[in-house]
Structure 1
Amino acid sequence: MEKFDINRPFDKISFSRIKKYPGQIFALLFVFLLIAGISIGIGLINPSFLYLTIPLIALPALFSLQVSINFLIEGRGISNKASFGFFLSYFSSQFKGCYRVVLTFFKSLLVYVVFSLIVAISYYYIAINVSPTFKESLDQVASLLQNDGFNSIEKLFENNDLLLFYHFSQGIPLLFSSLYFCHNILLNSLNVHIRSRVGSVSPSALNSLFSFMVRSDKKLFYWSFVKRNWPGYLFYGIGFILGYLLSFFLFPNMPTFAICFALFFAIFFLCFYLPFTFISSDLFIRNNDQNIKKFFIEFSLKSLEELKKTSIFTNEQINEAFKNIKEVEKSLDDAKKEQNEDKEEKDSIDSKKVDNDSSNNNPNGNEKE
């Protein structure tokens, strides 16, 4: 059986699992895209609505898609009722904050601000040297805003120079910030698998555990994820650019529409890779189950060391907790040792079988006819 490669996009094992349920996966993607499209479409009324619709509608739908696909490839079946149940489970205490949306949003906002400043300043200095009318247009709008306030802001979108300035200053930063947001949400989707395997631990502690694991071994957790999923980032970027350009040519004087068009097309193109992302993440967690448990023990020991410095628990309670964790660690080592012994025994049996088959196929050995 072929081994799962944690660094390989379009992994054969993931692809073979998708081929077993093409119709069901397509249906799940269609429902997700429909819900995501509605949540983004509400932004056509006012882009500020996206701050509510994306975390409250689109992300729970993404969570439902992730869990539904994992249930499906495990052969457990899926139904509309179950998918809706997964949608609601996103708000449950077990999975509360699993995507770390608030932290990811503020990080993405910082990315947007940085790129906005870089693009706006660069465009400004290039435009005033290339287009003589650009500075005049800026002065006219500044004068209108000073005299008539924001009632004359529509004048901004009647001037081609300023319209292009607005699109560049908005489009490029939005591309990178939304891509960064998407990357972090998908990376944090690994957290969903961990939460489903770890017992009754508080969400904040599990988030800390996940961050601890990623920081402790970036090559294993972070960079392998990036290498597996770079086609998804590429699809997202292509969809975003196509959607933005489509809106620019169809609705040139309504630049706020470009936000919704770009995001919808980005999600649409990303859907072509999402099944690989979720299935490969599930395989990754299963293949590194022992490592994750080790990280959990290491994290617990570190937390207990910090608790020793406080007076929340008695020394007897903390020492008992240390003892229990050490016993779990020993059992994991024993289990891993047994697993390696079983593997060696199996390899030995397979090797003998190959030798026997070879001797049966060549009964005369090395004798020449």
Structure 2
Amino acid sequence: MAVNVPLCVTDARDIRERGAELQRAWCESVLQDDHPPDDTAAFQRWLEAYQVQRRAFVLAGWAEAVSPDVRRRARLIALGSLARGEDLPQSDLDFALLTSADLRLDDAAPDVERFVRFMGPMGFSPCMGNVMGANPRWFGPEDAWMARVQKYAEFPDWANVRYLYMTVDAAPLEDAPQWALVAAQVRGVVAQSRFMKWQMAHLGIRGTVGWGAVRGVRWQASGDGAVFHVKDRFLAPMIHALRLLSLHHGVDALASVDRATSLGRIGALEGLRADAVVRALWFGWRLRARRHAECWLKGQRDAVDLVPRSSLSRAWQEALEEHLRTAQALERLVCRRFPKPRGSR
């Protein structure tokens, strides 16, 4: 069946009045896709259009829920999947705020909290890790951001290093030229540190792909039968690995597909084909988007990344196995490439 991609709505008033209705239309649309598991052309068109809609949702919420005074003194910075252009129907709302020096968090917090609540009906769950602008870690003027990055670099425990990697995947949704300086400092700090690259490879990626040579797909037991965590056990390790390799090789792209293509072009994927990595990403996003949409339409807001084995045909299960092998090959590549530096503890 052809996928009827909804028209993107950008008017803030329309979004305020029809946000949940628009979200429903996008969820119903992606579930029209009944192509075979590796025929992702229709889904790619849907996802590209949906990124425009997601950004419009965010900007409308910012305009509707936040006072003109706070908007004048704060710039909205997308983090994670929204920054990379990979947002799905129930992706978390991850964002930072780059502010003027005279804006205090206590003054901005009520507006930011209204913004977060406004986004709920459109499929934006508050980030469980509190990677949001009301958290002082993700709020402040340029000099505070630069000092924060330097502090993380000077004490690179795994928590601080994770914050640095999160800050790499960021994109201003409004005019914010100062952010380029913050972004350059973060990329430089990580790219020059063998220790931080080892940490991501071995503490953040190693052992996370849900595939085993003997047992195959690592299904988890649940009350409703076996399930698979499509984000943590498939997509996240690939996205983290591509970001790590991109930092190491000086690839500036944000989107994971662009990173994979660029890395393949310069031979940085060794024996792993870039097109295999790209196909795995599209399959994983499609599988996750379908699960998100199904859960949204049922009113389910938790366990949205747990795909039941019973919901997958044999063809989908075989495709999952194929692409998990690619994800595991990428995992092994970064673990080989970034060994623990001598003398580090």
Structures share fold, TM-score greater than 0.5: no
TM-score w.r.t. the length of structure 1 is: 0.25
TM-score w.r.t. the length of structure 2 is: 0.26
Q: Structure 1 or 2: larger helix share? A: 1
Q: Structure 1 or 2: larger strand share? A: 2
